[in-house]
């Protein structure tokens, strides 16, 4: 399993397919400096995300396409990632 995870990481861990949303009480310049210091080492490998053919999800194959009907009308995805404070008291 770990070999496959490393292979996936090596192939797809690239700045050009990542997105970041940042919100905080800091000024825009402070936020930009924080992001630059934290994420500038992520390599840009100019990765192209392969298209998944639609027929890959028929009833006889896995993975399977699953549609979820929400109970509430919300357009929200919440992902919580715990972070620790660094020495200066800002989140890393």
Secondary structure of the chain as H, E, C letters: CHHHHHHHHHHHCCHHHCCCCCCCCCCHHHHHHHHHHHHCCCCCCCCCCCCCCHHHHCCCCCCCCCCCCCCCCCCCCCCCCCCCECCCCCEC
* Joined tokens for residue 50: 């392969």
Q: What is the pTM of this model?
A: 0.50
Query: pLDDT tens across 64-82, in order?
Result: 667 777 777 777 777 776 6
Q: Count CB neighbours of 15 within 10 A.
A: 15
For 29-64, write each residue's pLDDT tens digit: 999 999 999 999 999 999 988 776 666 556 676 666
């Amino acid at each position: 399993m770990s070999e496959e995870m490393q292979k996936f990481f090596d192939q797809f861990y690239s700045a050009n397919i990542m997105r970041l949303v940042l919100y905080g009480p800091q000024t825009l310049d402070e936020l930009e400096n924080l992001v630059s210091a934290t994420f500038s080492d992520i390599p840009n490998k100019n990765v192209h995300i392969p298209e998944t053919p639609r027929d890959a999800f028929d009833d006889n194959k896995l993975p399977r396409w699953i549609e979820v009907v929400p109970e509430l009308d919300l357009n929200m995805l919440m992902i919580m990632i715990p972070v620790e404070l660094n020495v200066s008291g800002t989140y890393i």
